[in-house]
Amino acid sequence: MMIKSLRRLLTLLVVLMSVSVVMPSYAANEQTSQQMANAEQSTADMWRAVKAGEVGTTAATEVEAGVLINTFGNEGKIIKNDYINPAMMAVVVGVFSIFLIFFLVNGPSKLTKGFSGKMVLRWSRADVILHWGMAISCFALILTGLTIMLGRHIIQPFIGHEAWAFIIHFCKTVHDWVGPVFFVFWAICVLKWMPRQTFKSYDLKWFLVAGGYINFGPFKGKHPHSGYANAGEKMWFWSLAIFGLFICTTGLMLVFPGLALPREVAMIAVLVHGVSAIVIIGFTIVHIWMATALSEGGLECMKSGYCDENWAIQHHDIWYDEIKANGSLKYQD
């Protein structure tokens, strides 16, 4: 009997000791699981706050140094890749194709009375230099800019990585250094030529008859009145003036390393730069077509500064009448 009692007592002690060991361990595990759950929740809350742009504290002192993640940059990149880049490609291919088809169907705008052989001063030597300085720098920016924006899709797949790395580095370097040169020529040209670019009532008719460049149908032979600059040239000038200002401003913001810009401002500058470039590229293609293939004798104006007298009468009759009336008409020797 006593032995049975001792066995029961020993069993009870073993059970009690087991419970005393298991229960704290279970409680500890429960506490650890709760702590891990709380830690996971805390981490999730922290990353949500970080992605929302909550500012923290870091050792860095630059602008937005305390912001770990700025989602606006990713959103801006999506806009650039999904909308601006395709629009730029569409403008380059679309505008060029439209004018190529128009030229093949319509042909150039011929001088009704042919060339007179007498050359009239239209642009000064300074104007010619300014024009070509701005034109060459603008063309260099367009080529390098298109490569930077679209080259990854239309050039890189067909060449090696080393060749592409050289090309993109070259284009980026040229783009950064030519940009300020374009800015100088652009600013001088805008200030110097602006007085002659105000729209007049007769400019509306220029648009209605497409400037007299159409060689068929009811518009054939319709040569609208025009002053020193026709309505198309005025539209090109003001587009260049306005969007050129956006291009130059955002370009300087992005290229100068000393400017510590917030990420939102930098991305907005990139997007505005891209949209402005689309407008400038489109008008540049139109300007080149109009001044060369579509206008007989038009390119000579910016080669020598002189234009044929019949060209002046046909395309800029109001200006020709003015300089003839006031005695400022000058012929090439």
The whole-number mean pLDDT for each consecutive block of 10 residues of the chain, a chain of 333 residues, reads 55 52 50 56 60 58 62 82 94 96 92 94 96 97 96 89 94 96 97 96 92 86 92 96 96 80 85 96 95 90 94 96 95 90
Is residue 162 in some structural domain?
yes
Is residue 63 in some structural domain?
no
User: Which pLDDT score, from 0 to 100, does residue 262 have?
Assistant: 78
Is residue 27 in some structural domain?
yes
Same domain, 177 and 44: no
Same domain, 148 and 290: yes
Q: Closest by alpha carbon to 278, among 147, 86, 131, 114?
A: 86
Q: What residues does 121 pair with on adjacent strands?
A: 306
Q: Is the dihedral of CA 44, 46, 52, 58 positive or negative?
A: negative
Q: Closest by alpha carbon to 227, among 297, 309, 315?
A: 315
Same domain, 28 and 98: no
User: Which pLDDT score, from 0 to 100, does residue 38 have?
Assistant: 55
Is residue 276 in some structural domain?
yes
User: Which pLDDT score, from 0 to 100, does residue 321 have?
Assistant: 96
Same domain, 117 and 252: yes
Is residue 60 in some structural domain?
no
Domain count, the chain: 2
Same domain, 247 and 134: yes
> What's this model's pTM, rounded to 2 decimal places?
0.80
Same domain, 224 and 92: yes
Structural domain boundaries, residue 20: 1-52
